[in-house]
Structure 1
Amino acid sequence: MTDSHPIEVALENQLMSQGVYVTDFETGDDEYDRLEYEVVYDTATVTPHEVGTVVRTALKLDEERDDWELGGLEVVSRSTDGNRRGTWRIDPQWVKELHETISESGFSQLVLDTISHDSGGN
């Protein structure tokens, strides 16, 4: 099934109701797409909860859409005042191996291990 909205709009629509506001999304020429978002959480760094929210949404859209395939994803998290809270990523190889050689919990841990906290930076 293909959504009538571009992937960035579909991603934004699904994340907005969960407190994650997409500020920039670019499909990459290489294996990584780039996502930047703001959260309304009162924490200075990236949380596992927000990473899980974005990952579950991206995986769901990957399953639902014919016009977009989740590969690698490089992510920047910001606070509502624009401060950079941290970064994290999904490696394209992990997506390929999900359910084959990597379990869902193993996949989650790989992604969580990439979190870099940039508290208070721009």
Structure 2
Amino acid sequence: MTGDPPIAVTLENRLMSHGIYVLEVEWDEPSSETDFHLTYEVVTDAPRVTSDEVGTVVRTVLAIADERGWSPGHLEATSRGTDGSLRGRWRVERDWFDDLHAELTESEFSRRILETVTTGSVDE
């Protein structure tokens, strides 16, 4: 739809209402807006990435994709605490997005994503 804010801005605005604050969205190829790296911070006592925050981010990406007719590609996500500490990383492969509801159930899709979660370390 003409006049819609860029996908990164829409993502930032929607996640903010869930206590997830986008620090950076980097597109692998800025002109394509498909493969991207998302860095965000959360206000929580949990020292690690939670399934709730992953679910919120993924549901938001899927909602925006549906509304915009956009196909998200590979997503790399980095979660930070408000003090800047690394809480963890996770990812969604392009084909997982593509296969959702066709070849992958929501449960299998979620399981695959949650299996990619790594926790923060001093070696950031």
Length-normalised TM-score, structure 1? 0.91
Unaligned runs of 5+ in 1: none
Q: 1:43 to 1:2 in 2, by over 3 A?
A: farther
Alpha-carbon distance, 1:116 to partner? 0.2
- Counterparts of 1:93-108 in structure 2 under 5 Å? 93-108=95-110
The equivalent of 1:51 in structure 2 is 54
Q: Is the 8 A contact 1:86 1:117 kept in 2?
A: yes
**2:5 corresponding residue in structure 1:** 5
1:28 positional shift: 1.4
- In structure 2, the partner of 1:114 is 116
Structure 2: 5+ residue stretches without partners: none
Measure, in 1, the Cα distance between the counterparts of 2:21 and 2:122.
19
What does residue 34 of structure 1 align with? 37
2:36 and 2:81 map into 1 onto residues whose CA distance is 21
The CA RMSD measured in Å over matched residues stands at: 1.8
Give the % identical residues: 47
Q: Distance in 2 between matches of 1:15 and 1:99?
A: 24
Compared CA separation, residues 92 and 98, structure 1 to 2 (3 A): same
- Output one character per residue of 1:40-84: Cα deviation in whole Å (capped at 9) or x when no partner: 011111000100000000000010114x42111000000001001
Q: Which runs of 4 or more aligned residues in structure 1 lie more than 6 Å from their structure 2 counterparts after TM superposition?
A: none
User: Per residue, is there more strand in 1 or in 2?
Assistant: 1
Alpha-carbon distance in 2 for matches of 1:13, 1:36:
14
